[in-house]
Chains A and B, each alone.
Chain A
Amino acid sequence: MQPRDPGDSFTMRRIGKHAARILVVLLLGGFLGATLVRLAPGFGVDEEELDSRLSQDSIQALRQSPAVETSLPAFYLHYLLQLLHGDLGTSQTLRLPVRQLLAERFPETLKSVALGLSAGWTFGLALAMLAAMSRVGWVGLGAFLLASVLLCIPAAVLAMLFVIAQAPGRLVIGLIVFPKIFHYAHSLLARSACLPHVLTARAKGLGSTRVLLWHVLPVAAPQLLALAGVSVSLAFAAAIPVEVLCDLPGIGQLAWKAALGRDLELLVNLTMIVTLITLMANSAADLAAQPVREGEA
């Protein structure tokens, strides 16, 4: 029997740690969400109570439904048990199971977010590399100005401008992600490009591409991977105004409808799911960056 590699057990420990952190944060978030739903004004009040045809006994029976009577811990426990059985509850406004709504709308958001992230990262990183390595000043200045202007425009306005221009709305997510990627990647690459070993490589006559790929990018890689995790959260947040204004039937639009209809159960479930994705993306980025950090050390 082969002895276990200590590196493997270290990696497993790290994965376990991340999984435990995700679980704790989700349980905390779930508790806060459940508290919000339970304490919201109007919780447990059914529209049917307004029906004048109902007798006093029927209204009383409606008011004494189990959900209204349970205390907060009992309500949370019930919510968790439901969750473990894959039941995310029912939307009050749309009168449909939350699970069904998610199944219908989540792929649309994933498509938008994936396209936005790809576009944002491609342009952001490409321009950052060009600006950091190029000796032509106007390239960096032009990219910097573009990123700075985009940083000052709200996502909803960009989405509206795309609607007016009849351009594909999904690209707006890319424009929201792009300036953050550009600014952060540019400062990272510029800092890495000034390191002594990079200057030595340049002095020895190595080409810009080789210097970038072999000496600059590996140094900046761990932080860029961390940025990848953060950009997922940014993209999901931008999905709300984009889907609302560009009429894309994703979970962003669903969250907005839930907010306007005060459908807290749906809203809390959506927020928790997006949080889970964000946490998983951050953990994946952190785990992916670990070998790079160890290699540098």
Chain B
Amino acid sequence: MTGTSLAPVPTSPLPVSPRPRGAVGALFRIEAVRLLRHPAVLTGLVLYLALWAYEWGTGALAHRYPVLQDEDRYSQVPLLLIAAGAFIGNNLALTRAQRSGVAAVTDLLALAPWRRTLAQLLAPLPLAILSGLLVGARIAHLAAAPGAVGQPSLLELATGPLVVLLAGVAGVAVGRLTSMVAVGPLVILGMAIFTLVGAVTLSRPMLKWWGLVAIEDEFEPPLPADLMYRPVASHLVYLAACAAVCCAVALARSRIDRRIGVTAVGITAVLAVVAGAGQSVTVPGDVAARRTVAEREPSAQQTCRTVGTVTYCAFRDFEGRFDQWSTLVGGVLRHTPPDRASDRYVVRQRLLFGATTSAVSISPPLAAWTADDARAGTPGAVPVGTKWGTDQIGGDAMLSFAGHFAARVVTGEPPTEASALSVCRSRAVLVLWLAATATEETTAALRSLLPRTGGSVILPLVDSSLALSIGRQEVSVVRSLLDRPADQVGQQVIANWAELTRPETGTERAASLLGTRVQGPAAEGARC
């Protein structure tokens, strides 16, 4: 106390009017602010934002054409970083008094332990709200991206913030069970493993919804919202029940009446199990029926718009794709003769359930599609899938659609096994060049695809087994053509259209007509 003079102790101005409820509120405010400033939470927030920036910088986050009913659930995984911070921060806050020896004093103060626990249980609320704002900002960012389609689900968006809240209260529950610092990270590790194992163990789908978030659908093609099935409402109830269990455990360990505590833990635990079991992983019958109709007879669920001579039909959530399809189709038709460009075409969106990027093995129901097109008065429609974007998957899908539309123009036939086989030699060169030069994005997509395919190109029809197969020789011609101005090549294409589109015209002849040469031998086993 050197150099410090002590003031006389004045009388406290305090009235003697205990207000434990107000104290809970005051303690909640202090703990909430401290949690928001906790290094673990700040680290989680920084990592979340850094990941967002990284995804944006690398293109992993859709710059263009996001599907909002998919993007809503993709927001959940990054939020686990903040949830981990909430768990650690709140756990350390609760055990602070024990770890620092302050409990010898604070345990003897007026505010009952259960009220302190209650304040700590409420402390993650502002962080959960902040997480909700971040999720909202992310989805708004995506919604503002060019070509955004669909509607995000509020329930999916709410899942991440609820997980943050759950993690915060779980930190309190664990803290009430043990004040050992090492337990927190171990619990986080366990939850992370459980969530990830549940998410990736597709052979045991029962597990996937028992974790914090279910993320296995990321590689599936986007679906219209009414055809999706994610038991997200049940999952929210399950998460809320888990949070209730944590609250009950934390309060039961806070010197409340033992019977009340045990009863509360028992009831909430039963609720959590029931809610967990209620997350049915089987697609309900009505959704499955709607999917079948949407796959085989989509016209009744679609709206159409005609732009010029082309009619586009899409599922309701994907009507925003009309302009993008129109731009691409316009790009293909730009380098075709006027009589072909003025023909009437139809583009119809198709779904193939079960098709994934890793297993292109689904045969398209061409007969059903043909019949449906006939009923709808749109025969010969060119299918387009729901994938679309500037990333690898979306780019491949764009290029495939451009190829199949170009094949429709070149062959004059709708996509069938036979028409696909007829796209070879000169036709293959022409189709691929028309597809690649349709837009800058399809050009980039082809350039991105080639290093992955060893020189040949396969353009599947909506992820099905029906595909245009273009050999190395034809691809090499297209590559050399892409080095020249498209309009210059386009004039040669239009001038030599008749010969270029004849099935018997060879690749070397096509190259010659377009002012270039074939490089390398034809691939062994190439069709035609």
A pairs with B: no
- Which residues of B line the A interface, CB within 8 A? none
- Which residues of A line the B interface, CB within 8 A? none
